[in-house]
């Protein structure tokens, strides 16, 4: 099975090289250069962002499962060819987060959801809300359906994630056209909203490719170097510094950034991290954005799929749609 997953993952990379944009008329964009030793270099943004000055989180537990790091590369191969999996008769299912809650049932770090804490519909893990469909992303922890690292998303703590947001927002403000007769503050927010609504896929794709491109080898290296055991917490900043991750890391990044744009009034709508799994094959996650007009957008960096759900062909639309859609 691991061999099959690796083959599919390699096929994804091949298809990207042949057709780098899955939907829409987006141009092929150059990726930022990568230095030796996996360090993050200064990004060539107009705002002069330099992510290399900040130190990564080094938390990890020495009593980790010895097989976890060895299997991390195979576990990271979770972004397979969706249409091909459907044509082979595999059935994608929702319920990843429910499975996580059941799996963590006997874990001393798991706190089940309670009526007195409606902000955490999936409970807490080691004090942090578990990220799931329609839950808050920032401040939470993303836990895999299978035991792997637990990704902490925390923009309140100074670090790379907050740095990326600050510089991206400044870039959006600089690029968004302004209506000169409007009040400067209100006008700027409206200009950024229009700019994002018109170029959401291209802007998000460019950002993710710059700061957190798909790289399953980084996931394996981080697991080994930080001695991460099953469900050990690790900050998303660690993967930003190494400049690599798979779909779960990319959705945590993009979901947190868009969520904060909504919080601060730069973007309209609702943001969620959605995911599904094909039994005995793989799991996959993406960002779902419902814009101010109620249209559903799928932002899937790992599969390079960006666009309105209603515009997808039936097979892909069925994969990304929720049960009642």
What confidence tens digit (pLDDT) does each residue in 311-321 have?
999 888 888 99
How are strands ordered across the β-sheet holding 124-125?
110-111, 124-125, 128-129
Model pLDDT, residue 186: 64
DSSP assignment of 96-111, as one string? Answer: HHHHHHHHTTT-TTEE
Give the model confidence (pLDDT) of 278-321 as tens digits: 776 678 999 999 999 999 999 999 999 999 999 999 888 888 99
pTM: 0.74
* DSSP codes joined into one string, 211-273: HS-B-HHHHHHHHHHTT--TT-EEEHHHHHHHT-B-HHHHHHHHHHHHHHHHHTTSS-SEEEE
| Whole-angstrom Cα Rg for the chain | 19
Domain annotation covers residue 258 = yes
Total domain count, the chain: 1
Structure tokens at 181: 């007769």
Percent of the chain with pLDDT over 90: 55
Residue 311 lies in a domain: yes
Query: Could you tell me if residue 325 is inside a domain?
Result: no
Phi first, then psi, for residue 271 (nearest 5°) are: -120, 140
In a domain, 40, yes or no: yes
**Which stretches of the chain drop beneath a pLDDT of 70?**
1-95, 179-186, 280-281
Range of the domain at 140: 2-320
What pLDDT is stored for residue 280 in this prediction?
Answer: 66
């Amino acid at each position: 099975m691991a061999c099959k997953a690796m083959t599919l993952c390699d096929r994804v990379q091949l298809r990207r090289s042949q057709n780098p944009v899955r939907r829409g008329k987006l141009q092929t964009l150059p990726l930022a250069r990568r230095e030796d030793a996996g360090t993050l270099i200064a990004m060539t943004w107009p705002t002069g962002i330099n992510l290399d000055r900040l130190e990564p989180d080094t938390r990890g537990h020495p009593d980790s499962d010895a097989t976890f790091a060895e299997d991390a590369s195979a576990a990271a191969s979770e972004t397979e060819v969706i249409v091909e999996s459907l044509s082979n008769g595999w059935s994608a299912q929702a319920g990843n987060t429910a499975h996580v809650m059941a799996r963590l049932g006997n874990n001393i770090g798991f706190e089940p959801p309670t009526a007195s804490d409606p902000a955490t519909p999936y409970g807490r893990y080691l004090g942090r809300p578990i990220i799931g469909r329609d839950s808050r992303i920032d401040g939470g922890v993303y836990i895999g359906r299978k035991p792997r690292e637990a990704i902490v998303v925390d923009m309140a703590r100074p670090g790379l994630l907050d740095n990326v947001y600050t510089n991206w927002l400044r870039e959006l403000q600089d690029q968004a056209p302004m209506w000169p007769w409007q009040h400067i503050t209100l006008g700027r927010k409206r200009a950024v909203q229009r700019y994002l609504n018109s170029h959401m896929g291209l802007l998000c794709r460019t950002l993710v490719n710059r700061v957190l491109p798909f790289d399953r080898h980084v996931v394996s290296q981080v697991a080994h170097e930080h001695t991460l055991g099953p469900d050990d917490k690790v900050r998303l900043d660690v993967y930003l510094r190494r400049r690599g991750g798979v779909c779960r890391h990319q959705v945590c990044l993009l979901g947190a950034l868009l969520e904060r744009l909504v919080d601060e009034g730069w973007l309209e709508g609702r943001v969620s991290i959605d995911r599904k799994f094909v039994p005995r094959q793989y799991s996959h996650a993406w960002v779902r954005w419902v814009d101010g007009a109620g249209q559903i957008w799928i932002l899937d960096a790992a599969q390079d799929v960006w666009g309105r759900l209603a515009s997808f062909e039936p097979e892909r639309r069925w994969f990304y749609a929720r049960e009642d859609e």
